[in-house]
Structure 1
Amino acid sequence: MDFPLITDPFFYAVAIPAVLMLGISKSGFGAGFGSLAVPVIALSVTVPQAAAILMPLLLLMDLLGVAAFRKDFDLKFLRFLVPCGLLGTVVGALLFRLLDARMVAAIVGGFTLLFLAQRLLFAPRADSPPPPRWLGAMLTVTSGFTSFVAHAGGPPLSAYVIPLRLSPVKFTATMAAFFFVINLSKWIPYAWLGLLDMRNLATSLALLPLAPVGVWMGVRLARRISPVWFYRVLYIGMLLTGIKLLWDGVH
């Protein structure tokens, strides 16, 4: 039996670097770049199809990321983040058919750029208090929502977690565990919405060997980079993500 996978060469020209970029982001290094995966693949296919193709890849990447950083989670913090994120995925599932994914992308992109502008123009002092809990809850719900719609949950959550000044490894481990739960929760709703068809799953299978390569690259970088450069790369990733998502939404 032949699998009806996508055969368009242009699709793989954009999908291969996107998958590697997503794998690197799953290690925490360059986490902002991960949200570019769906917009980049959507240069060749629709946004919902791009999101569906990435689902099996995300599962494998999440498993690898959690295994690599299994001793470094902030469990107390995750008990706060995960329920808020799951609430966001429920909202995303209920509104998925009513929303234009590019409009959501524009909102996420604009928010990301505003956050970066605030961080650069009004840089917090070393003794600045952490963001309030209510703001963290709102941003985490938003992260779950945008993760469901376009796998773009990184920027909203980063806007809350970055000011907490976690170490690179702690940041990476906590983000990996959070998105493992969030992405796992999306399988049943994606199947219910009819996104997990054989064409998308067969295409995912063809791209699957790239998943561990990207995660391996990111894990090695995350464990060797200094905190200063870790967050610089994170900001660069968020900047490019914000510009790309906003551009896609506007045009």
Structure 2
Amino acid sequence: MDTLNITGNIWGLAALAAAAMLVGFSKTAVSGANTISLAVFAAVLPARESTGVLLPVLIAGDLLAVRTYRRHAHWPTLWRLFPAVAVGVVIGTGFLFWADDAVVRTSIGAILLFMAGVTLWRRRSAEKARTAVSPDPDGAGEAGEGDDGAPAGPARRGRAMARSYGVLGGFTTMVANAGGPVMSLYLISAGFRKLGFLGTSAWFFLIVNTAKVPFSVGLGLIDAKSLLLDAALLVFVIPGAFIGRACVHRINQRLFERLVLGATVLGGAQLLLS
């Protein structure tokens, strides 16, 4: 892998460092915001190899998120998702085995644009639901203050819904590390509030991303050179995670999601047109 060619490009390294910091922030504050990081990594590095470089960075963020929100996970939801996610990961692995860099680059761009559309639809749906049940405009009420972070009221969903989201999430996370918006959509539609949402997604991505490592190594996406670059980037994940933890209760969710959506659309369009 020729990823270390960017070591002579100070702007490329700075962009990757900022993207790594955003990973830490997104894991402890706004899940799914790291779609921006995905676009940055795919723009600075060869698109196919960028998924392997980004994966250890994401796992570091997952570890910090689990350390922060581990008590708020809803394990029945996780066990319902995992079998379908495994199917999606296997499908995504087959796709990466077949696809060259140009196809992966186009696919990442298309996935980013699709996820931006999904996220926009999710936000509007969640906003309507919140208006119907709560006057809280930012949906910042905590899931399960004193409970296990389970979704509120009658919002639990059936296995068919879990399977469809699980397969799509497994495929998108394997091909482009872009499972965040899919998982966000599922958890929001299932009625999770902020702490339950963050705790469940933290455990979900730690387990799924760790399980992806052997597949990525087998595909040649993770090797000694990529891990050397990761070692330089991991130090930026930690301050991002602490900033996210400090800001999670103060974030204007609506404005931040608009910025994330705009950056995601721009990143996806850049990858499609380049």
Q: Which runs of 4+ in 1 moved over 6 A?
A: none
**Which SS does the other structure have where 1:87 is aligned?**
helix
For residue 38 of structure 2, what is the amino acid of its counterpart? V
- Give the gaps of 5 or more residues in structure 2: 134-152
Q: Is the 8 Å Cα contact of residues 82 and 181 (structure 1) preserved in structure 2?
A: no
How far off is 1:40 after superposition? 0.7
> Which of the residues 237, 241, 261 maps onto 1:239?
261
Q: Which amino acid letter does the alignment assign opposite residue 202 of structure 2?
A: A
Q: Which whole-Å CA distance do the structure 1 matches of 2:157 and 2:112 have between them? A: 21
Alignment of 1:7-18 (within 5 A): 7=7, 8-18=9-19
Q: CA deviation at 1:135?
A: 3.1
Contact 2:31/2:180 (<8 A) preserved: yes
Map 1:146-185 → 2, pairs under 5 A: 146-185=172-211
Please give the alpha-carbon distance, in whole angstroms, between the structure 1 residues aligned to 2:127 and 2:234. Answer: 40
Equivalent pair of 2:87/2:170 in contact (CA under 8 Å):
yes
Matched ranges for 1:119-198 at <5 A: 119-120=123-124, 124-125=128-129, 126=132, 130=155, 133=158, 134-198=160-224
Match of 2:250 among 225, 228, 240: 225
Following superposition, the deviation at residue 238 of structure 1 comes to: 5.1
Residue 208 of structure 1 aligns to a residue whose secondary structure is: helix
Deviations 1:176-223 (A, max 9, x none): 10000110011111111112222211111111111211111112222x
Displacement of 1:236: 2.6
Contact 2:112-2:265 within 8 A present in 1 as well: no
TM-score, normalisation: structure 2: 0.78
Q: What is the aligned length? A: 243
Q: 1:246 to 1:136 in 2, by over 3 A?
A: farther
Partner residue in 1 for 2:57: 57
Indicate whether 1:102 and 2:136 are aligned: no
Q: Secondary structure at the match of 1:32?
A: coil
Alignment of 1:93 with 2:93, yes or no, is yes
Distance 1:211 1:242, change over 3 A: closer
| TM-score (normalizing by structure 1) | 0.85
Tell me the amino acid that sits aligned with residue 107 of structure 1: I
In structure 1, runs of 5+ residues without a counterpart are none
- Structure 2 equivalent of residue 66 of structure 1: 66
